[in-house]
Amino acid sequence: MRLMSRPARHLRRAVFLCVICIIAVLAALNSSPADSKPGQNAKKFKPVQASSDQFVWRVDLHSLGYPADDPLLQRRRGLNNFDTLDFVSATVEVATFLTQEPAHDLHRREAANPAPYTLHAVFLDAASGKVLGTLEWPVDDSSAGIFPRYDGSFLFFSTGRVVLYSADRQPVKELLLPQLQEPHASLLGIAESPSGKTLLIYFRNEKSRSCIRVDTGTLEGSEEVCAMGTMFTVSDKGMAAHKERDTKKEIDSGPQFDPQVAPVGTFESSILIRAKPGESQYTLCESHDPTDGYCLSPQFITDESIALFSGMELALSDLKGRATVIFKQSPNPSDNQWIDPGGHPVRPSADGQRFALALSESVFQVFGGAGTLYGSPSELPAEYADRIQVFDMRMNNWIYLLQNKDKQFSKIWGLALSPSGGRLAVDSGGVIQTYALPLTDTTSRH
């Protein structure tokens, strides 16, 4: 059985995104921030500096068992699928991390199949950072995490089951996943809708690729055969996924990609979207040049709006493809932050009114210039953390800018907005920091 086996798939995806990021940075150096594509709003969007970049509170999880000497262990979870930090409600945050049993401890156990990993969840008071409680789950595979429903309840996922927990952290219902326990089964990805009401599980077996769409309130699931790239997103009404096509055959950005067979220059990139399983799909956006456009990674903000981004720019679009670019790399090499399209860097609030964007440092800042470009994608939201920006849909502008000027986080392992977008939480590798965001007439501090 091969669950979440990703070396070959991620190597090929890494090569692809590496080339994309390098080309995108070069293209950005020759572009103008006022450039816009036909039909797009040319308004310049400029982040507003926060009134205070000091955190409200800070909690170090190392005192609660977070392993200090094995950061690669946390990456084994597949952090493009599982958030390390989220709000389960307006008043409760939850941080998760993985530990691994030492080999000698496993041999001493009497159980026939001792679980080699443990997933830990630490529940924190959103106002003070006080620890409210903890949960632990022994798991056989490192692919494990929790997904919030924003009313206090949440789902625990492992490759064998999904369990619904109540707001008082008690198990309520279980959905077994025998499909992921079959020989040669492999988990390809998971996405949750912004509201937390829908979970989409993407996997493959020996014969096909399939999707299981789960109602998180009832744990009722429907399965269908589907084939798409590993960059996908789901809403309560539909789904969207990235696809690549060359002049000879259509392939996705996952395990079938081979840059030696299909050079990047032959590619057309597009985002395909469709309603619920079984219905037809259509093209939301399309780019014929990997250096031009944002048709690489999609992320639903609401059921009716979606963020589309590449390494060099991000656009907001409706479901008819009418898009407005709201972030574009600066032509100045020293101030050329970039988006990691493989690292789940866009996180919406549950009410769909705000979203956070994690940005990595300019490649020239990381390596000091000398013609060296950083193009290796990560599953972290920002491997080389530079800043976090928050966009407000009602104000139609960026309303918060948190710069990493004091290196308060060397990497951004996870980030989350509270359900109404009043707070921002950041995981910098076992250290959780929460920030208060500017209020609007319709935003609460939660």
Mean pLDDT by 10 residues, the chain (446 residues): 41 44 43 37 52 82 88 87 96 96 55 78 97 96 95 96 97 95 90 97 89 95 86 93 64 39 52 74 80 85 95 92 90 78 93 96 58 57 92 94 86 96 95 91 59
Strand partners, 403: 387
Tell me phi and psi for residue 411, to 5 degrees.
-140, 155
Instruction: Compute the distance between CA of residue 45 and CA of residue 330 in angstroms, rounded to an integer.
Output: 12
Q: Which of 415, 384, 411 is nearest to 400 (CA)?
A: 415
Least Cα distance to 283 among 302, 301, 270 occurs for 270
Cβ partners under 8 Å of residue 386, min gap 6: 337, 359, 360, 361, 362, 365, 403, 404
pLDDT of residue 413: 95
Contact status, residue 99 vs residue 62, Cβ threshold 8 Å:
no
Cα(329)–Cα(143) distance, rounded to whole angstroms? 34
The residue to which tokens 């401890």 are assigned: 105
Q: Which helix (H) or strand (E) holds 234?
A: strand 232-234
pTM beyond cutoff 0.75: yes
Beta bridge partners of 250: 245
311 close to 341: Cβ distance less than 8 angstroms: yes
pLDDT for the residue 5: 45
CA distance 190 to 196: 13
- The CA R_g of the chain, rounded to the nearest whole Å, is 21
Which residue in 317, 324, 357 sits closest to 338, CA to CA?
357
Q: What three-state secondary structure class fits 16?
A: helix
Among residues 426, 420, 425, the alpha carbon closest in space to that of 440 is found at 420
CATH number listed for the domain at residues 7-436: 2.130.10.10
Q: In the structure encoding, which two tokens stand for residue 206, read together? A: 């020996």
Question: Three-state SS for 17?
Answer: helix
If we measure between CA atoms, which residue out of 106, 139, 141 comes closest to residue 5? 141
Q: What is the pLDDT of residue 292?
A: 66
Query: What does the block give as tokens for 164?
Result: 């619904």
Helix (H) or strand (E) holding 297: strand 297-300
- DSSP annotation of 292: B
DSSP 18-77: HHHHHHHHHHHHT--TT---TTS--PPP-PPPPS--S-SEEEEGGGGT--SS-HHHHHTT
Beta strands in 226-267 (DSSP E): 232-234, 238-245, 250-251
Q: What are phi and psi of 312, to 5 degrees?
A: -110, -15
- Closest Cα to residue 143, out of 206, 194, 188? 188
Pairwise CA distance, residues 174 & 181, whole Å: 16
CA dihedral 109, 114, 116, 122 (to 10 degrees): -90
The domain segmentation of the chain, as residue ranges, is: 7-436
Spatial separation of the C-alpha atoms in residues 445 and 349, rounded to whole Å:
13
